[in-house]
Amino acid sequence: MADTFTDKDTYQDTFNPHGYLCTYYDLKDGILVVDGFLSFALKKLHEAFTKHGVKGDVLLHIGHGPVIYQDLFACEVFKEIIGADCTDRNREYYEKSLRNEPGTFDWTDVIKTVCEMEGKGKTVEEKREKLRNTVTKTIRCDVTKSKPTEPLVLPQVDCIMTHLCLQAASKDQEAYRNVLRNISSLLKPGGCLIITEVLNCTYYHVGGRRFSSASLNKEFMKDAITEAGYTILDYEVMFRKYDKEQYEFSNHDSTLFVLARKIRDSL
Q: Which residue from 35, 82, 40 is spatially nearest to 204, judged by alpha carbons? A: 35
CA atoms within 13 A on the CB side of 1: 3
Q: What is the pLDDT of residue 3?
A: 62
Q: Three-state DSSP class for 84? A: strand
In CATH, the architecture of 8-262 is: 3-Layer(aba) Sandwich (3.40)
Q: Is 247 annotated as a binding residue?
A: no
Alpha-carbon gap, residue 92 to 240, rounded angstroms: 32
Q: Three-state DSSP class for 242? A: coil
Alpha-carbon gap, residue 179 to 161, rounded angstroms: 14
Mean pLDDT value of segment 146-153: 96
Provide the β-strand partners of residue 239.
254
- Beta-strand relationship, 209-212 and 203-206: antiparallel
Q: Is 203 annotated as a binding residue?
A: no
Alpha-carbon gap, residue 107 to 26, rounded angstroms: 9
Task: Look at phi and psi of residue 100 and say left if phi exceeds 0, alpha if psi is from -120 to 50, else beta.
Answer: left
Q: Is 77 annotated as a binding residue?
A: no
pLDDT digits (tens, 9 = 90+) for 91-139: 999 999 999 999 999 999 999 999 999 999 999 999 999 999 999 999 9
Q: What is the pLDDT of residue 2?
A: 45
> Residue 207 in contact with residue 19, Cβ under 8 Å?
yes
In DSSP notation, 111-166 reads HHHHHHHHTS---HHHHHHHHHHHEEEEEE--TTSSSTTTTS-PPPEEEEEEES-T
Q: Is 20 annotated as a binding residue?
A: yes
Residue 225 CA to its chain's centroid (Å): 16
Q: Is 24 annotated as a binding residue?
A: no
pLDDT digits (tens, 9 = 90+) for 8-21: 999 999 999 999 99
How high is the mean pLDDT of the chain?
A: 96
Task: Provide the pLDDT confidence category of residue 1 given band limits of 50, 70 and 90.
Answer: very low
Q: Three-state DSSP class for 89? A: helix
pLDDT digits (tens, 9 = 90+) for 167-187: 999 999 999 999 999 999 999
